[in-house]
Structure 1
């Protein structure tokens, strides 16, 4: 994917909604994302179910999971689900992947030890890619074993063959710690961290490049993304109150200065200045996640129409990307 421009996506907060998605598609955004837990503590959806809704209720934008907790899923089953959704959407699906760990009971419920979640994710990613190539697959791994399996994505009505992209959807690795960075460098098609500062993002870029070089991997076409909680309002004080109310409690009522490092808020001019720091650190595709309990579409609209045009690419291209 070319990185000669800066792209905006949006998180469908709080839940995918047909009218919200239709309005968002009319904005100058490139993607819409939503994740989900298996057993969340609130009445919120699961990642593949939400992805299916977004597939049905959008026409233009790229749609993705942010994130799918891959170690909780049987990889052959989820490979088929994602392949079918990519085919039915005309090749618009992307798969943001995380290892989870916030809710231990989810792992206990599906019989997956938390200590194995990283290794299971790595093996599952390899299985997804193998099955998406379309040839018969034999696999003998630590966690999964099968012989002569061939995945056939659903054929959309009127199509002469499956519309899934060759090789399947891109796998975008999420996280904040070095194991996730190493996974992105070795196995991922992109990097989608969250709740990190611009300086931390710059360090992650360097770590990924170092790990990729050690593995002999060329990162041309790698996607440098950022899942960014933020609030943009004409009233900057209201935007800052949004973030404090949405994220503050989760971080022990940290001061506003701490929240501003990881979740920008304010007027379009103020937020653009903060996002420019991320661009300078290497971000090329922001997923704007409205950190607010109301009028989330208003935040996405201001971000797309008044923040995005203010951002500028650095004069020096990001190493390992296409120009």
Structure 2
């Protein structure tokens, strides 16, 4: 089982320490969430810095809200990051759901799914080296990864799950194991329905805080603030894994469901969590 770390957002400058420690440990991937109207660091800029500070570990958006980005610039940024990281970049992508993120770029939240589908077609063409349009040539650089960086989709609706088969390589599921099974099986169903070869990558995300009470309390506070716009903030806090025994249990449960990787998303900026989790996995 591959284990990744979802990075905290409360202390952007401290993420270099997280990255270096994780790169020296047993972890496969570093993930970073995306929001526009929030105090999180911009993920592509941040992951580029972290890729430069590491030599082995992958970097991943988890998930990038593509519809608020300009498509041509997003293609260039992601291809550049893929190239400069030596192919260690995974683009986790989704539609988002916050009105304010879309208002900030003067886009309609209600059309975000349609916009993402259009973006994905164009992204694949740009990464393949095709001209951007009739009067516009190709947009480089070419990514190291043939066809573009690994592409994972996050979401809960069937439209999001089917995009894995239509455009991507795998699925990011942020649900407890008892609900994750249904999502994984639906992704596999759409994969077969669209005649895709092989199997989709299945990645689970688990909110985690391992350490003293101060670390757990800080993580809870950060989750409550981040999810305050929803009616699920308390639910998200209740689902956070805070003990070694429970962490091993949840990892085992996702493994039994067929997950290829479990991303342990840390909400406290205490970097000592890297070493604590490494000792457990």
TM-score normalized with structure 1 length: 0.76
Deviates more, 1:181-190 or 1:82-91: 181-190
Q: Superposition RMSD on alpha carbons, in Å?
A: 2.5
Residue from 202, 212, 219 that aligns with 2:181:
202
Q: How does 1:33-52 map to 2 (within 5 A)?
A: 33-40=31-38, 42=39, 44-52=40-48
CA distance in 1, matches of 2:7, 2:105: 27
Deviation at 1:243, TM superposition (A): 5.3
Q: How has the CA–CA distance of structure 1 residues 163 and 205 changed in structure 2, closer, same or farther, with 3 Å as cutoff?
A: closer
CA distance in 2, matches of 1:131, 1:280: 38
Residue ranges of structure 2 left out of the alignment (5+ in a row)? none
Q: How has the CA–CA distance of structure 1 residues 113 and 76 changed in structure 2, closer, same or farther, with 3 Å as cutoff?
A: same
Residue from 98, 102, 107 that aligns with 1:107:
102
Paired residues, number: 274
2:193 corresponds to 1:214? yes
CA distance in 2, matches of 1:93, 1:244: 29
2:90 corresponds to 1:98? no
Residue from 284, 294, 305 that aligns with 2:260:
284
Deviation at 1:238, TM superposition (A): 6.8
2:7 corresponds to 1:27? no
The answer for the alignment partner of 2:8 in structure 1 is 13
Residue ranges of structure 1 left out of the alignment (5+ in a row)? 1-5, 139-145, 154-161, 309-323
CA distance in 2, matches of 1:19, 1:199: 34
CA distance in 1, matches of 2:224, 2:17: 29
Instruction: Kindly indicate whether the alpha-carbon contact (under 8 Å) linking 1:8 and 1:304 is maintained by their aligned counterparts in 2.
Output: no
The answer for the alignment partner of 2:66 in structure 1 is 70
2:176 corresponds to 1:175? no
The answer for the alignment partner of 2:140 in structure 1 is 152
Deviation at 1:203, TM superposition (A): 0.1
Q: How has the CA–CA distance of structure 1 residues 94 and 215 changed in structure 2, closer, same or farther, with 3 Å as cutoff?
A: same
Deviates more, 1:246-255 or 1:168-177: 246-255
2:40 corresponds to 1:60? no
The answer for the alignment partner of 2:210 in structure 1 is 232
Instruction: Kindly indicate whether the alpha-carbon contact (under 8 Å) linking 2:191 and 2:199 is maintained by their aligned counterparts in 1.
Output: no
2:168 corresponds to 1:188? yes
